[in-house]
């Protein structure tokens, strides 16, 4: 249950309103019991977590990735995504982010993801952008 406390604390501290409204503690608890929640480590400490499953059209799906703010922009998320990609059982890995989350969009580009499409209506005024990565392909970061 230590992992649950770590993940819930990260999520709650970064966006308390979203954590409560979206019932994230329940989502995190289920992901941990289903062995779909991964704690992200850096500098020998927990710095975030990722929820990964195959619920998106039976494809690899990163549902949620949360990294402590002071560790963002350091390539940790890209490394975590790469590790999940190596474990992925399908030939494509999908994820999404809000249009307003430009930091995540940059991280996905660095991780070799391509834009797949946009869905309006999930978050009013902030479309959801979907991305995918073919597993086994690498992208040179410049």
CA dihedral over 50, 103, 135, 60, signed as positive or negative? positive
SS3 content of the chain, % helix, strand, coil (to 5): 35, 35, 30
Overall fold of domain 2-134? Aminopeptidase (3.40.630)
pLDDT digits (tens, 9 = 90+) for 93-111: 999 999 999 989 999 999 9
Helix residue ranges per DSSP H, 16-72? 16-21, 24-33
pLDDT of residue 136: 66
pLDDT of residue 94: 98
Q: Which residue has the higher pLDDT, 59 or 43?
A: 59
pLDDT of residue 29: 84
pTM of the model: 0.83
**pLDDT exceeds cutoff 60 at 139:** no
In this prediction, what percent of the chain has a pLDDT beyond 90? 54
**CA distance linking residue 128 with residue 68, whole number of Å:** 22
Side-by-side strand order, sheet with 37-42: 37-42, 45-56, 59-67, 92-98, 128-134, 114-119
> Which residues face 65 on adjacent strands?
50
């Amino acid at each position: 249950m230590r992992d649950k406390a770590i993940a819930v604390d990260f999520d709650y501290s970064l966006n308390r309103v979203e954590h409560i409204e979206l019932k994230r503690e329940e989502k995190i608890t289920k992901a941990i019991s289903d062995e779909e929640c991964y704690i992200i480590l850096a500098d020998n400490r927990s710095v975030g977590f990722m929820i990964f499953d195959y619920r998106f059209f039976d494809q690899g799906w990163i549902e949620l990735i949360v990294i402590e703010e002071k560790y963002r922009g350091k390539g940790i998320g890209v490394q975590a995504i790469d590790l999940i990609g190596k474990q992925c059982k399908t030939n494509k890995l999908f994820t999404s982010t809000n249009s307003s989350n430009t930091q995540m969009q940059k991280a996905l580009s660095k991780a070799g993801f391509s834009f797949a499409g946009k869905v309006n209506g999930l978050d009013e005024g902030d479309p959801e952008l979907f991305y995918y990565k073919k597993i086994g392909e690498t992208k040179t970061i410049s």
